[in-house]
Amino acid sequence: MPELPPSDTSDATTTHTKPSDSPGSDTQAGGTKTPATASTGLETLSADATGAEAWAALGAAGLLTRAYQGGEIRDGIDPGGLADLLAASDSRCSIPATLSASVQLATALPLLATGTGPAVERTLRRVLTGRATLALAATDTTAGTDLTALRTEVVLDDGSLTVSGGKEWIANTTTAEAFLVLARHRPGRHFTNFSWILVPADAPGVTTRPAPSTLYASSGVGHVTFDAVRLDRAHIVGRVGLGLPLFARHIAVERLAGALWGVALCRRVLEATRHHLAERAHGDVTLWHLPHIRQRFASCLVRVQELQSLADRFGPDVAQRHDPRAAATLKAAAGTTVPYVLGECAHLWGAAGFTDGGIQEIRAQAALFGIGGGATEIVLETLADSAGQILEELARPTLQPEWPSGFRVPAGAR
Ligand SMILES: Cc1cc2nc3c(=O)[nH]c(=O)nc-3n(C[C@H](O)[C@H](O)[C@H](O)COP(=O)(O)OP(=O)(O)OC[C@H]3O[C@@H](n4cnc5c(N)ncnc54)[C@H](O)[C@@H]3O)c2cc1C
């Protein structure tokens, strides 16, 4: 497998530097990219850097381990560090490039770290230092929302295993040095029928192709086929039969990552949109002065603050306990808030939103917040299952410690 391509530094001095001086002049990527600060490791990247290039830059700067407690992946996620990395990537890179990083940081790497042995340790080391990327291959050729119907199978014998099947729409496929593959070792839907296998991309029988998606090409998204790929049993990650419990545990962190990234993305787009509106002349004033536009914008501010509050409230539950209900809440909120805010902003940009690389493109990419890693409908089902518990919790006062001691929520308002 070839080394990852180096970061593109060819136009490092010309990107992301322009303050807008005329209405609509900052439409590139929603006009929203800000110069990276000194510590992101991404300063030299061009705006169209691929996910693999961004990953290599973060790794070379030694920043990837900041997503984990004390820099140690097996000690769990550090939500603050993860949020910083995602915000840094979002401020500098495209949505596909940040997706590429998010899947690896939040889910693929922590899942891989549940394994042991030389193959696992080597891949962990190479990916955490940005010298390689790792793909998380759960979605099968069957409906992604019907995970237990997946067909990719692993046949286990005493000394080896054989993987056969295929995965579709997997980020990092075209660059990955290895695939973490969810496969069934037994027929049927029972939750103990699945296991994770680490499949090197250069193993005989592995074939990849890019997905037909201009919108997400730079995430390396693609399809992969496993044609009787034979490996030794050291490539089983976690224990046989623990595939789905491990997936549930670690997809929870991807849901937290989605909420944290969603806040950063919405903030960035809202800031650029406000700037655009304030510069767009309308009559004697600007678009920003029109009450209907201000109110529409303010509604977006409310939604983003709601998402941020949920991330603040539920982040620790996900990071420390992989709480599925907290994760579902975050995913459902991000999956509706991000498309809403970006849709509103895109509309307010008028024709300028359709500039190449502009807000309408970002809006289309951000629709993935409601689909990737589990469609919104699926997590809403999880929440409906917990309706009684949630309603019970809502009946309890949620006074914050810093509120004045004399203040009480009126009983009727609870
Ligand atoms: C750019 C990109 C990157 C991706 N990266 C990865 C990756 O790295 N790893 C990976 O494993 N997967 C990845 N995926 C796949 C992603 O996780 C799936 O797209 C997602 O799980 C949904 O599955 P699906 O697309 O097969 O939708 P389907 O299962 O075909 O569902 C289509 C739609 O039907 C509706 N629906 C489905 N089930 C229900 C239900 N029970 N109730 C109500 N409505 C329902 C929903 O609206 C849903 O969006 C990626 C996808 C994209 C586009």
The predicted pLDDT at position 17 comes to 30
Tens digit of pLDDT for each residue in 97-146? 999 999 999 999 999 999 999 999 999 999 999 999 999 999 999 999 99
Instruction: Answer yes or no: is pLDDT of 86 > 60.
Output: yes
* Ligand 1 pocket mutation pick from 50, 145, 172, 216 by most atoms within 8 angstroms of CB: 145
Q: What is the rounded CA–CA span in Å between residue 95 and residue 361?
A: 10
| CATH number, residue 324 | 1.20.140.10
Tens digit of pLDDT for each residue in 135-179? 999 999 999 999 999 999 999 998 899 999 999 999 999 999 999
Q: pLDDT averaged over the chain?
A: 89
Q: Are residues 255 and 374 in the same domain?
A: yes
Of 242, 273, 305, the last residue of a domain is 242
Instruction: Classify residue 210: in a domain, yes or no.
Output: yes
Q: Are residues 185 and 127 in the same domain?
A: no
- 3 state SS of 162: strand
Q: Are 331 and 376 in contact (CB under 8 A)?
A: yes
Of 189, 210, 242, the last residue of a domain is 242
Instruction: Classify residue 381: in a domain, yes or no.
Output: yes
Q: Are residues 72 and 157 in the same domain?
A: no
CA of 258 to the centre of ligand 1 (A): 15
Q: Are residues 129 and 139 in the same domain?
A: no
Instruction: State the average pLDDT over residues 24-41.
Output: 46
Pairing of strands 153-156, 160-170: antiparallel
Tens digit of pLDDT for each residue in 35-79? 444 467 788 898 899 999 999 999 999 999 999 999 999 999 999
CA of 140 to the centre of ligand 1 (A): 10
What residues make up the domain containing 387?
A: 244-397+409-413
Percent of the chain having pLDDT more than 90? 83
| Higher-pLDDT residue of 244, 400 | 244
CA of 370 to the centre of ligand 1 (A): 9
| CATH number, residue 231 | 2.40.110.10
Q: Are residues 193 and 308 in the same domain?
A: no
Instruction: Answer yes or no: is pLDDT of 292 > 60.
Output: yes
Instruction: Classify residue 312: in a domain, yes or no.
Output: yes
Bridge partners of 232, per DSSP, are: 160
Instruction: Answer yes or no: is pLDDT of 410 > 60.
Output: no
- Counted domains in the chain: 3
Q: What is the rounded CA–CA span in Å between residue 168 and residue 175?
A: 15
Taking the mean position of all CA atoms in its chain, how far away is CA 86?
8
The predicted pLDDT at position 350 comes to 98
Q: What is the rounded CA–CA span in Å between residue 349 and residue 23?
A: 10
CA of 356 to the centre of ligand 1 (A): 27
Instruction: Answer yes or no: is pLDDT of 414 > 70.
Output: no
* pLDDT band, residue 22 (cuts 50/70/90): very low
Nearest atom within ligand 1 for CA of residue 138: 11
Instruction: Classify residue 125: in a domain, yes or no.
Output: yes
Q: What is the rounded CA–CA span in Å between residue 304 and residue 390?
A: 22
CA of 368 to the centre of ligand 1 (A): 9
Structure-token match 């080597």, residue found = 122
Q: Are residues 203 and 112 in the same domain?
A: no
The predicted pLDDT at position 40 comes to 73
Q: Are residues 302 and 212 in the same domain?
A: no
* Ligand 1 pocket mutation pick from 219, 371, 378 by most atoms within 8 angstroms of CB: 371
Nearest atom within ligand 1 for CA of residue 219: 1
The closest residue, in CA terms, to atom 31 on ligand 1 is 145
CA of 378 to the centre of ligand 1 (A): 10
Query: What's the pTM?
Result: 0.89
Instruction: State the average pLDDT over residues 260-272.
Output: 98
Q: Amino acid letter at 329?
A: T
Q: Are residues 189 and 204 in the same domain?
A: yes
Instruction: Classify residue 116: in a domain, yes or no.
Output: yes
The predicted pLDDT at position 381 comes to 96
| CATH number, residue 96 | 1.10.540
Instruction: Classify residue 61: in a domain, yes or no.
Output: yes
CA of 348 to the centre of ligand 1 (A): 29
The closest residue, in CA terms, to atom 28 on ligand 1 is 143
State the greatest distance between any 2 C-alpha atoms of the chain, in Å, as a whole number. 80
The predicted pLDDT at position 408 comes to 54
Ligand 1 lining (C-beta closer than 6 Å): 103, 136-139, 143-145, 169-171, 216, 219, 221, 368, 371-375, 377-378
The predicted pLDDT at position 396 comes to 84
Instruction: Answer yes or no: is pLDDT of 21 > 70.
Output: no
Which residues, in sequence order, are CB contacts of 88 under 8 Å at separation 6+?
36, 37, 40, 41, 42, 63
* Ligand 1 pocket mutation pick from 139, 251, 253 by most atoms within 8 angstroms of CB: 139
CA of 414 to the centre of ligand 1 (A): 37
Instruction: Classify residue 18: in a domain, yes or no.
Output: no
The predicted pLDDT at position 44 comes to 87
The predicted pLDDT at position 31 comes to 43
Nearest atom within ligand 1 for CA of residue 103: 8
Q: Are 114 and 247 in contact (CB under 8 A)?
A: no
The predicted pLDDT at position 403 comes to 57
The closest residue, in CA terms, to atom 9 on ligand 1 is 170
Instruction: Classify residue 43: in a domain, yes or no.
Output: yes
CA of 373 to the centre of ligand 1 (A): 7
Instruction: Answer yes or no: is pLDDT of 15 > 60.
Output: no
Q: Are residues 71 and 187 in the same domain?
A: no
| Higher-pLDDT residue of 30, 404 | 404
Of 184, 213, 242, the last residue of a domain is 242
CA distances to 55, 58, 65, 132, 203 from 128, in Å: 9, 9, 7, 8, 21
Q: Are residues 193 and 267 in the same domain?
A: no
The predicted pLDDT at position 42 comes to 87
Q: What is the rounded CA–CA span in Å between residue 15 and residue 208?
A: 32
Q: Are 124 and 114 in contact (CB under 8 A)?
A: no
Q: Are residues 90 and 206 in the same domain?
A: no
Q: Are residues 233 and 264 in the same domain?
A: no
Q: Amino acid letter at 67?
A: A
Percent of the chain having pLDDT more than 70? 86
